Amino acid sequence: MFNRILLAVDGSENSLRSARYATELAEKFNGTIDVIYVVDSSTAKEDVLHATNKFEIEKKRKEKLKPMRELLEKSGTDFYTHVLHGEPGPEIVEFANENAIDCIVIGSRGLNELQSFILGSVSHKVAKRADCPVLIVK
Amino acid sequence: MKVQELKQEWFGNVRGDVLAGIVVALALIPEAIAFSIIAGVDPMVGLYASFCIAVVIAFVGGRPGMISAATGAMALLMIDLIADHGLQYLLAATILTGVIQIIFGISKMAKVMKFVPRSVMVGFVNALAIMIFTSQLQHFVNETWVMYALVALTLAIIYLLPRITKAVPSTLVAIVVVTVVAVFGNINVGTVGDMGALTQQLPVFLFPSIPFTFETLMIILPYSLSLAIVGLLESLLTANIVDDMTDTESNKNKESRGQGIANIVSGFFGGMAGCAMIGQSVINVKSGGNGRLSSLVAGIFLMFLIIVLGGVVVQIPMAALAGVMIMVAISTFDWSSVKNLAKLPKTDAIVMVATVIIVLVTHNLAIGVLAGVLLSAIFFAAKISKVKVTEELVLRDQKKIYRVEGQLFFASVSDFPAKFNFEDSVKEVEIDLTNAHLWDDSAIGALDKIEMKFGQNHVKVIYTGVNAESKQLKNKIGGLSNASGH
């Protein structure tokens, strides 16, 4: 049922928690995981400013996802990592819809109503627009 | 360039580029006007500059999808020149800036960017943000609460509107709303019209009316140099950001040359010097623009709007522009650098803060960058000039081995000889240079000095583990000073 799972991460402690759910799910259904990390414009700005070259930017992003990769490697599930560029919400939805993803696993930052009004909730947007079931990990 | 590639860069994304170009033009107008006011010239100077630069860069730039126009970094550099000598000198300085940038581009100076450390770049953007912010404070002097209320309204719309709709740029909506409030509410506040004339005309080609003398050149050259450096620095930084956002490559030397050509054209058409804009380029990419067409559309649509709507533009209250500039300052500032200041290596933090302070004291971004680069070079030299020497006594042979670890050069050798014990009663000393590298004649000189001092005590010195490059240097220089020593 859930053969291809999309795990959306941002390198935070929060997304590690969603990774645990994703691996459980993958193991149960013998599925694969596509890890998606979206670099938005402000992250791009920050990363470029703090790195001397392209190679270093890539290295830093890989490092950011290292705990995630280790966790997935330990679980033994087949997984692929993708670094996409753009706005997180639409990018995740687009990837899921185009690649016939069966389930999206995504963390919620736990913002209150005012915060999510100002900052915008990625998990909300994904849940609203994706064609497949979405598991929001709190 | 191949026709296919050129076609892709121009017409690969027509719909996205046209729409994004229109959005950028709308967002550019308030900034171009505000930057003109910062520089101390009529709004038309910034608007003509933005038109010329955006259009020219569309054709000759090296980073499709990047937006260049009149910018705050450049405006801040010209304040004194305009105050002391007037607009005509600024136009001449703009043309000279372009010439310098073309020379930089041809001599492939884009590579030199790597000598500007990250901490200096972070200091640069932070100083820029602070200066844009403080340049707005003059508009608040002797103002009533109305001014503050309008600025607050502007900022509220700018930051909250995108949560409801992203179809129109929120800065534009903020300006329209605040202008409507001011005009129809009969609120008496300063407007763009008070800051200078706005002519609804296309720019015309003119030579700056200045005396073509050596003296003139000496007046504008320092400004042009600063403008050229800062312009390229910000343009190449922006190009890297656009590269990353779009996950594509760009031609940095072509971009440097393109910036130069754009500034020359701007200067001849009555515009001020400009460069790439991080904020506008981000808006462009986010709105779907990534081709050359986006910059062209942005430039042309901006001019069209000014010609059609010039009469309305003069009624924009300064409060609205101040709000936009505060937003620009906030988004320019690298907040993560403050958050992580304690976590950074101490020298990096010092370089960053020093760059900011020097810019704020000198009011010159170029001086701040140069000082920052210099300071980090000194820190780097200090860091790698730590030379470790370990000793080992071989009793049987009455011999002592010194193992040297590190880089031997002018900064590291001053206390190097002090690490050797010349009073040891040994017959022979071995200096093991396996983990060391000799860089200059100071290094050779220091070794010669050590050899000579041991020689005075009749101790023989032998070297082991000298790498090929160091050996070459040692043979070239060492032989000379040795010959006279013994």
Ranges of each domain in chain B: 3-378, 388-485
pLDDT above 50: residue B391: yes
pLDDT above 70: residue B481: no
Distance in angstroms (rounded) separating the CA atoms of residues B191 and B213: 39
> Mean pLDDT over residues A47-64, rounded?
87
> Mean pLDDT over residues B86-114, rounded?
89
pLDDT above 60: residue B129: yes
Report A:84-113 residues touching B (Cβ under 8 A): 85-87
Three-class SS of B448-484: HHHHHHHHHCCCEEEEECCCHHHHHHHHHHHHHHHHH
**CA angle centred on B72, ends B309 and B36, rounded to 5°:** 40
Ranges of each domain in chain A: 4-137
A44 with B244: Cβ contact below 8 A: yes
Interface residue of A41, A47, A61, A111 to substitute, partner B, most B CBs within 10 Å: A41
Residue B93 has a pLDDT of 97
Residue B115 has a pLDDT of 80
Residue B476 has a pLDDT of 74
Mean pLDDT, chain B, integer:
89
Distance in angstroms (rounded) separating the CA atoms of residues B66 and B279: 10
CA-to-CA dists, residue B60 to B17, B47, B257, B259, angstroms: 17, 20, 8, 8
pLDDT above 90: residue B102: yes
Which chain B residue shows the shortest CA-CA distance from A116? B163
Query: Which neighbouring-strand residues pair with A80?
Result: A34
Which one of B245, B286, B334 has the shortest CB-CB distance to A49?
B334
Residue B471 has a pLDDT of 80
For residue B278, which residues of chain A lie inside 8 Å, CB to CB? 45
For residue B240, which residues of chain A lie inside 8 Å, CB to CB? 48
In this prediction, residue A110 has a pLDDT band, given cuts at 50, 70 and 90, of: low
Residue B483 has a pLDDT of 41
Residue B448 has a pLDDT of 87
Distance in angstroms (rounded) separating the CA atoms of residues B472 and B158: 64
Residue A116 has a pLDDT of 67
Q: Are B235 and B275 in contact (CB under 8 A)?
A: yes
pLDDT above 90: residue B272: yes
CA atoms within 13 A on the CB side of B187: 24
pLDDT above 60: residue B484: no
CATH number attached to the domain at A4-137: 3.40.50.620
Which one of A50, A85, A117 has the shortest CB-CB distance to B163?
A117
For residue B163, which residues of chain A lie inside 8 Å, CB to CB? 117-118, 120
Distance from CA of B296 to the nearest CA of A (A): 22
Q: pTM of the full predicted structure?
A: 0.84
> Mean pLDDT over residues B41-50, rounded?
94
Residue-wise DSSP of B275-294: EE-HHHHHHHHHTT--SHHH
Q: Are B292 and B258 in contact (CB under 8 A)?
A: no
> Mean pLDDT over residues B167-182, rounded?
88
B122 with A39: Cβ contact below 8 A: no
A49 with B237: Cβ contact below 8 A: yes
> Mean pLDDT over residues A130-136, rounded?
91
Residue B486 has a pLDDT of 40
Share of chain B above pLDDT 90, in %: 51
The CATH architecture annotation of domain B388-485 reads: 2-Layer Sandwich (3.30)
Lowest mean pLDDT among A70-84, B144-158, B398-412, B464-478: B464-478
For residue B160, which residues of chain A lie inside 8 Å, CB to CB? 118
The residue among B56 and B458 whose pLDDT is bigger is B56
pLDDT above 90: residue B297: yes
